[in-house]
Structure 1
Amino acid sequence: MIQAKKSALFERAFALYLMPSIHRSFSHLYGRNIRPPKGPALIISNHSSWWDGLLFFFLNRRVWNLDVHIMMHEHGLKEFPFFRRLGAFSIDRSNPKDILASLRYAENLLKQGKTVILFPQGDEYHLETRPLEFHTGVLYLMEKCPEIPLVPARFYYSMRREKQPEVWIDQGDSLTLGDIPAGTRHERTLWLQERETAALDQLKQEVLKENYEEFQEMLKRRRTS
């Protein structure tokens, strides 16, 4: 596996590039319940776009301010090695030994007080793919670090009336291992998968209804004359 090689200086420099890029790429960015976890956390979300990881970086710079690391597929990290300096580390799902090494690396990060982000689907899938089929790595980490809360986030991308798409982000309530019904690791993963599939479908319905009341606009736009 490829370990992270974080650089605070590189993060600051990358933010100067990323923030204007997000403004150019999205017409709106709406967030609901976006607030810092109380300490280190294991954060998960659905995965349908290359933007997902970058939006997590945006959220961390704008709101969370945590020491974040993110699990990334090995071929993606080899293609974009600069992500290592933003806290990315790799996983190769074709190699069982590498999977275990990556999970143990994530476990050690959590035990060091760092926040870990991962995508339980493993790969990118179309936004409308159902159900969200999760791998069991999330439950492995929750079992190894039961004191660390799980924080779910959901991303939904939408085209509306403007040239650029908009993105809606919903941060769910924290969960602990005790909140998940008892069972095997596979059974608990299935429960979490069904829960997050339903939450994403609910977010989709709110987007279709243009339900802005509970969401905050997170892109500060310049006024044009």
Structure 2
Amino acid sequence: MDPLATYSPRALDFYDFMFTRFARRHMRALRVPHWGLPPDTGDAPLVVFASHPSWWDGVAFMLLSRRLFPGRRMFIPMEEAALARYRFMRRLGVFGVEPATARGAVAFLRVARRVLDPARSDMLWMNAPGRFADVRERPVPIAPGLARLPELAPEAAFVPLALEYPFWSERKAEMLAAFGNPLPGAALQAMPREARTEALSAALAGTMDRLAQEALSRDPAQFQLVEQGGEGMGGIYDLWRRGRAALAGRRFDPRHEWRR
């Protein structure tokens, strides 16, 4: 199935609303460090290659692409067996691939070549390891298909994306994301494939390490807030706290952490 033909802006608007509502309900906030905002790559097609620590990565892709890359279409490869359980995603730019087969590799590269056509400004977002991988795993694994892409799209910019979901002071986790410096596709194309894989791995690892340091700070001021979710305990307990604050003439702050 052709992802460029099945892509539906109307469906994307609807599921952006649904994904945002879901993230706000289950995550405290989506934050990007000030240094980790998307780099300026002009109108070049983009390959955003991300770490893959969690199921939440797909939600992060939706929120980040829609808010930080307005006007660009995003396409995402997903294992065909998994996509069969989420068929609606085909209308959002997600396309199926068969892992670990020659036929699957050829099909992936064929679609990627079309998405990264320099005549358009589309984006290909993918989890770089090709599997779930802990944020502490080093070297960061790079799927063979990603390493092949510069040969097909030297005009593209390859942008690393680090994702992490730590718990700070609230009951809900933080969704942290950071973009690294772009790697020019032409420079990657000129490298032997093994060196290219190492360059992609090192760029992603460096971005992940830097985001880890920001996560350790536990300081929201170091981040730009992209989406705000709920804070506090919620339910009857916060309703009781809100009532006490109203009776005392105080503004209710649901956060667990005390603020000076």
**TM-score relative to the length of structure 2:** 0.78
In the other structure, the counterpart of 1:38 is 42
| Structure 1 residue 211 displacement after superposition | 4.7
Residues 1:117 and 1:220: Cα distance change in structure 2 (over 3 Å): same
Residues 1:126 and 1:3: Cα distance change in structure 2 (over 3 Å): farther
Distance 1:53 1:87 in 2: 12
2:103 counterpart of 1:97? yes
Answer yes or no: is the 8 Å Cα contact 1:3–1:90 preserved in 2: no
In the other structure, the counterpart of 1:77 is 83
Map 1:18-167 → 2, pairs under 5 A: 18-32=19-33, 33-35=36-38, 37-39=41-43, 40-65=45-70, 66-111=72-117, 113=120, 114-167=122-175
Tell me how many residue pairs correspond in the alignment: 224
Structure number, greater radius of gyration:
2
**TM-score relative to the length of structure 1:** 0.89
In the other structure, the counterpart of 1:185 is 193
Distance 2:65 2:189 in 1: 30
Residues 1:183 and 1:11: Cα distance change in structure 2 (over 3 Å): closer
Identity value in percent: 25
| Structure 1 residue 221 displacement after superposition | 5.7
Segments of structure 2 that go 5 or more residues without pairing to the other structure are 232-241, 243-251, 253-260
Partner SS, residue 84 of structure 2: helix
Partner SS, residue 15 of structure 2: helix
Residues 1:14 and 1:132: Cα distance change in structure 2 (over 3 Å): same
Deviations 1:3-32 (A, max 9, x none): 422111111111221111111111122113
Residues 1:181 and 1:79: Cα distance change in structure 2 (over 3 Å): closer
